[in-house]
């Protein structure tokens, strides 16, 4: 008798989602899917607004990574203005972006993934959270708090607010960096680099101790996509988009403005979230992952010394080939946090960052602009078309959650096949399913940014709808 397990709701997230797991007659997993069952229509209701309003409107998509949408919208606005921002404006925008990466990555590792790694996937749910982490590992928890605070302070120093900043505009930025703010960032930088290096040590020790587990947990071959610089280096703000296959061979590299020539979006009738894929490879062979795991797999080097050392170790994990294990996202995330901190030092040492040359005036509206950067959780595209007055006629967003849609469902299926027996639901199974989702996309696990954990309800149903078992948490 075919049975189906529903994990619904996956609540307190950026949007609503549920997981369905279908079992065969023997109680083994036949299929597992992640359903995103909320339709927001953000692209539609932005039509008719002026393009220069988007740096303030677009960040309302997400309360977790508003800086990424703020900057991508400004970059699209630059193109509509037909200008290249001044060097100072570009440096300042990248500085804010690095602050976002530090605060987001550190929060994810120390506060969201940390309880699983340090307290155990099967620890009592009442303790497997940030409170339990503080009680058992107070110094580790403190490092996470200080790193997140540092990143938020970088954002607020430029944008006057930690969330939904007011800084980037089409053509530049609206304020200069003050000497006091620069000195405050520099004064704390080495301590925070030390903190993130401690975090990397924790992640590497756990992955080494649990190597077989880490290499098998939601591990599967797929493509990887991310921005790279002119020499193949890791890039989070500029660059071209590179896609590699599961063996590490380059499939294509292109200017973000040409993304529609390379990325298609498949629609399925069981979810509102589309499935981006490589047009060159087709569906489903062209599915891929984005985010920290993908970015370290696609880049050849990193332009800061300490992060470069970590990348060399990363490349040795799979003999130079792509690292496939989903839990390695956490390690990659910290390597990027280290890069972002080192990059903040490089940016602040550049004399041009203190200039007041902040804005490039526009002579005419071009009518079209694409903004692209690497948000903490993956490649982000904003694509705007306008009429001759600058009023938006069409808007298209492709965000990390969409890029990783196929991979998150595949991860859920891999975990379900490994841990669900169909007849005895356990809390440990729920937690592993949650962990497989969380590792890809904090926007789907932002509920755990607060104290506690993501509430889950798993119901085991017979084919005729009878409830056979139920487990509730949260």
3-state secondary structure of 178: coil
> How far apart, in whole angstroms, are the C-alpha atoms of residue 151 and residue 186?
12
CA distances from 313 to 195, 316, 325, 343, 467 (A): 19, 5, 15, 20, 49
With a cut of 70, which residues of the chain have pLDDT below it? 1-17, 36-40, 63, 421-425, 441-474
Contacts of 138 (CB under 8 A, 6+ apart): none
57 secondary structure, DSSP code: H
pLDDT score of 244 = 98
pLDDT score of 468 = 59
pLDDT score of 454 = 47
CA distances from 158 to 41, 99, 355 (A): 30, 10, 14
> In residues, how long is the chain?
474
Residue whose token pair is 């300490």: 306
Strands (DSSP E) found in 156-301: 168-169, 172-173, 223-228, 240-244, 250-254, 263-266, 275-278, 288-289
CA distances from 304 to 185, 307, 327, 345 (A): 18, 6, 24, 10
Report which of 229, 158, 195 is spatially closest to residue 341, judged by C-alpha positions: 195
Return the structure tokens found at 87: 């060097």
Return the structure tokens found at 278: 């490589």
Contacts of 90 (CB under 8 A, 6+ apart): none
Return the structure tokens found at 14: 């950026």
Integer Rg of the chain from CA: 22
Sheet of 456-461, strand order: 29-36, 17-23, 3-10, 456-461, 467-473
> How far apart, in whole angstroms, are the C-alpha atoms of residue 212 and residue 326?
13
Q: What is the dihedral of CA 385, 391, 396, 399, to 10 degrees?
A: 120
Report which of 380, 104, 366 is spatially closest to residue 226, judged by C-alpha positions: 380
Read off the pTM.
0.90
pLDDT score of 469 = 62
């Amino acid at each position: 008798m075919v049975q189906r397990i529903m994990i619904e709701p996956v609540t307190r997230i950026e949007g609503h989602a549920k997981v369905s797991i279908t079992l065969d007659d023997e109680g083994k997993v036949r299929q597992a899917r992640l359903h995103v069952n909320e339709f927001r229509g953000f692209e539609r209701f932005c039509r008719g607004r002026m393009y220069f309003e988007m740096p303030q409107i677009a960040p309302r998509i997400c309360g977790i990574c508003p800086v990424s949408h703020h900057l991508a919208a400004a970059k699209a606005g630059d193109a509509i203005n037909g200008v290249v921002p001044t060097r100072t404006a570009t440096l300042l925008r990248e500085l804010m972006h690095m602050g976002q990466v530090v605060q987001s990555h550190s929060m994810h590792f120390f506060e969201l993934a940390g309880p699983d790694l340090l307290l155990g996937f099967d620890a009592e749910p009442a303790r497997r959270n940030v409170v339990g982490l503080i009680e058992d590992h107070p110094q580790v928890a403190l490092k996470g708090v200080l790193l997140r605070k540092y990143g938020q302070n970088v954002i607020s120093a430029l944008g006057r607010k930690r969330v939904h900043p007011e800084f980037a505009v089409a053509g530049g930025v609206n304020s200069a960096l003050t000497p006091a703010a620069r000195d405050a960032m520099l004064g704390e930088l080495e301590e925070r680099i030390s903190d993130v290096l401690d975090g990397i040590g924790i992640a590497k020790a756990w992955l080494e101790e649990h190597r077989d587990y880490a290499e098998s947990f939601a591990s599967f071959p797929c493509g990887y996509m991310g921005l790279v610089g002119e020499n193949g280096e890791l890039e989070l703000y500029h660059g071209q988009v590179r896609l590699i296959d599961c063996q590490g061979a380059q499939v294509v590299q292109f200017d973000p403005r040409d993304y529609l020539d390379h990325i298609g979006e498949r629609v399925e009738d069981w979810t509102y979230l589309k499935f981006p894929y490589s047009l060159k490879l087709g569906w489903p062979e062209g599915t891929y992952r984005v985010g920290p795991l993908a970015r370290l797999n696609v880049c050849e080097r990193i332009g800061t010394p300490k992060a470069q050392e970590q990348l060399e170790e990363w490349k040795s994990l799979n003999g130079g080939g792509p690292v496939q294990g989903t839990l390695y996202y956490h390690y990659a995330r910290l390597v990027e946090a280290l890069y972002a901190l080192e990059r903040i030092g490089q940016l602040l040492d550049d004399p041009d960052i203190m200039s007041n040359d902040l804005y490039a005036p526009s002579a005419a509206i071009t009518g079209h602009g694409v903004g692209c950067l690497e948000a903490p959780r993956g490649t982000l595209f904003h694509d705007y078309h306008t009429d001759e007055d600058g009023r938006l006629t069409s808007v298209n967003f492709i965000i990390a959650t969409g890029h990783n849609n196929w991979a998150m469902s595949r991860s859920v299926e891999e975990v379900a096949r490994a841990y669900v027996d169909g007849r005895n639901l356990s809390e440990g199974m729920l937690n592993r399913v949650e962990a497989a989702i969380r590792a890809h996309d904090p926007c789907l696990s932002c509920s755990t940014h607060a104290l506690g954990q993501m509430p889950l309800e798993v119901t085991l149903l017979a084919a005729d709808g009878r409830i056979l078992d139920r487990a509730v948490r949260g």
